[in-house]
Structure 1
Amino acid sequence: MASLKIENLHKSFGKVKVLNGIDLEIEDGGFLVLVGPSGCGKSTLLNTIAGLEEITGGDIKIGGKSVAGLHPSKRNIAMVFQSYALYPNMTVAQNISFGMEMRGIAKAERDRAIKDVAEMLQIDQFLDRKPSQLSGGQRQRVAMGRALVREPLVFLFDEPLSNLDAKLRVDMRTEIKRLHQRVGTTIVYVTHDQIEALTLATKIAVLKDGYLQQFGTPGDIYNHPVNTFVADFMGSPSMNLLKARMVKDGAGLSVELVGSEGQPFLLPLGDDPGATAYEGKDVIFGIRPEALTDPDGADRNSIRIVERECLIEVVEPAGSDTFAVTHLGGTETIARLRADSDIGAGQRTKLAFDMSKAVCFDPETTRRIGG
């Protein structure tokens, strides 16, 4: 195992800057997920860690030692690709052991390593099969097994689940988390799927256009997004971002929203010194769907539940939840209700706003206001 530190990393292709001053650090045995939309630079960043791309500036340290300029074979990393990259003419056992054979490892040791990882990944019954005889999930397990026998300092995963169907993706996500818990090796994992990021990571790095937007724990990223991009990108459904105005309300501040039928209403913000500079100004009010629910489904431990009447336009049953659509701040707004909520389209009903989980953003800078 080893820590990974990325310091002021820059990467350009000619005059095109792809990565701009990235600073990240993950501890021994950590699980770092790089997440962001297509073209944000996450795969390029992974490739610089692997040594497949040379960096333009900055440094990369594995286990406290700089690997900038070091050949990939000298970095003691193992990579699992989206495409599996298995040899079609070799059996599962041969695919797993090929790298060890090239390094001159004795057959008895190779056989022992194959047996161990095959049992761990539950592919021991497939060792004599060719990749063409396996399902997508089984092939991904083989690719993981080939990486595991290397016993590297760092595992690199490049969107390993994107070729799988939805159910298998969930199953494999669990397998990867279980694998990390068992082997404890540092992992860097690239995905565009923010649910994968929140589920797997000990730390998440959110990238956009080659810039690091936010770096922190899944809880930090989800509950305290630094800007509207992170707020909108992380979470499914994403955070409701509504036009509002900060107004003085007695001894404190409230946000004033245009309600679902054009009527204004106030939502008290509580005591947030960082918000006082925005009194009388427009803001973006952010609240996640699960913090906007039916009164009986609201968090009973929260002391800042505010109820307001809204017109429900659409109701979408989704098994374990029911989603209701209303209009607030001139924007379509999603509330997450209990599965057995007795609310129908066209109905006026009270919704509970958990203001302890609400955030506000500056509409010009898009940065979060206050703490």
Structure 2
Amino acid sequence: MGFLDINNATKSYGSVEVLHNVDIQVEEGEFLVLVGPSGCGKSTLLNMIAGLEDITTGQIAIKGNAMNGVHPSNRNIAMVFQSYALYPNMSVGQNITFGLEMHGVPKPEREKAMAEVAKLLQIEPLLDRKPGQLSGGQRQRVAMGRALVRDPDVFLFDEPLSNLDAKLRVDMRTEIKKLHQKLGTTIVYVTHDQIEALTLSTRIAVMNGGYVQQLGTPKEIYDTPANLFVATFMGSPSMNLVSVKIVETDQGIAAQTTNGHGKTILLPFLNASAELKSYAGQTVTLGVRPEALTDPGGADRDAANVVEFDSRVLVTEPAGSDTFVTTTLGGTECNARMRADVQVRPGDDVRFAINMDKAVVFDPKTEKRIS
């Protein structure tokens, strides 16, 4: 049993089920991110935890106590909304302590809690200002302060950074991460931004179509995606997906495909699983992250299975710390992440290196990972 237990939870509107049999156990102090495209059910699930949406079937429990039917005010949760939801006629200090006042907390205790939170979030100079006098980042800090001051069992964040510009979003992401590391609070955080999910979380639930597609650590989600949806949704640029044929050679099992010239190349697997061997003679989908497809000098020196091949460059995109190079494998355009100082131009024939230790294989019919 976890600190927050979501057991076989579903949500229906009339005859339409929008959330299907969700099972997630969140441990105390964990940072769980619910990520997925718009309409996947992540905000609905968050609202069910908060008590803003009823649970159709199943159960949600906090610290072993069932929350089904419990009013939001009695759940000891705090929520930070996308819109901040600050009272415009109140000062920052009043916004932070309003919830405590409504719960009958004496004024000296309210002021002490406000001072501690204001110091933690570095908003002490803002306490007498109104929300209309604050920047977006400052408003977000105030909204977080209002949640923190209550010392809840669970914090719920609903896309809190989506209204901020790109630089401020990165800064606030770092602040939230530092805050979690310092306080050890239990957080459930909703976003559609997979970079936020990977950088903030201790675990990620990738959702689509009302189902949890995969639940795991950021490394598990990124390195071993459960299916093609997770593989393409997580990661930027997204994973390269190439149709290949599994063949048996004298050295073992290999993926057969073609380079940018249409020439056949073999990409061997080391210690291929029995399941992958069973696909010999069949066409599968090979998944390779852009950083696992690079120039030979940039390949991982600790990798046991780096395969080099020649191919033609279609496009180059300098990106400061990296250069992204587009080539083709099996007739499919693929992104390679090369070193910043690599000298390649469109039309060049270039030596590529692919780290097959990092390659994953999917069944094209079921779209599930084979190995």
Structure 2 length-normalised TM = 0.98
Q: How many angstroms does 1:251 deviate by?
A: 3.7
Aligned partners of 1:166, 1:180: CA distance in 2, in Å? 21
- Counting only pairs closer than 5 Å after superposition, residues 71-82 of structure 1 correspond to structure 2 as 71-82=71-82
| Percentage identity across paired residues of the two chains | 62
Bigger Cα displacement from structure 2, 325-334 vs 31-40: 325-334
- The one-letter amino acid paired with 2:104 is G
Q: Which residue in 1 is equivalent to 2:18?
A: 18
Structure 2 unaligned spans of 5+ = none
Runs of 4+ in 1 over 6 A off after TM superposition: none
Q: Which residue in 1 is equivalent to 2:315?
A: 314
- Counting only pairs closer than 5 Å after superposition, residues 349-364 of structure 1 correspond to structure 2 as 349-364=350-365
Q: Which residue in 1 is equivalent to 2:161?
A: 161
Q: Which residue in 2 is equivalent to 1:64?
A: 64
What secondary structure is seen at the aligned counterpart in 2 of 1:270? coil
Q: How many angstroms does 1:250 deviate by?
A: 1.2
Q: Which residue in 2 is equivalent to 1:252?
A: 252
Bigger Cα displacement from structure 2, 251-260 vs 199-208: 251-260
Q: Which residue in 2 is equivalent to 1:286?
A: 287
C-alpha distance after superposition, 1:249-271 (max 9, x if no partner): 21411111121121221100122
- Counting only pairs closer than 5 Å after superposition, residues 144-293 of structure 1 correspond to structure 2 as 144-272=144-272, 273-293=274-294
Q: Aligned-pair RMSD on alpha carbons?
A: 0.9
What secondary structure is seen at the aligned counterpart in 1 of 2:122? coil
Bigger Cα displacement from structure 2, 200-209 vs 263-272: 263-272
Structure 2 residue 43 is the aligned partner of structure 1 residue 50: no
What secondary structure is seen at the aligned counterpart in 1 of 2:278? helix
Aligned partners of 1:77, 1:184: CA distance in 2, in Å? 15
Q: Which residue in 2 is equivalent to 1:40?
A: 40
Aligned partners of 1:331, 1:11: CA distance in 2, in Å? 40
What secondary structure is seen at the aligned counterpart in 1 of 2:307? strand
- Counting only pairs closer than 5 Å after superposition, residues 98-113 of structure 1 correspond to structure 2 as 98-113=98-113
Aligned partners of 2:162, 2:299: CA distance in 1, in Å? 35
Bigger Cα displacement from structure 2, 153-162 vs 99-108: 99-108
Aligned partners of 2:339, 2:20: CA distance in 1, in Å? 43
- The one-letter amino acid paired with 1:111 is E
C-alpha distance after superposition, 1:244-298 (max 9, x if no partner): 1111121411111121121221100122222011000000000000000111011
Q: How many angstroms does 1:107 deviate by?
A: 1.1
Structure 2 residue 122 is the aligned partner of structure 1 residue 125: no
What secondary structure is seen at the aligned counterpart in 2 of 1:198? helix
Aligned partners of 2:138, 2:103: CA distance in 1, in Å? 26
Q: Which residue in 2 is equivalent to 1:326?
A: 327
- The one-letter amino acid paired with 1:182 is K
Q: Which residue in 1 is equivalent to 2:86?
A: 86
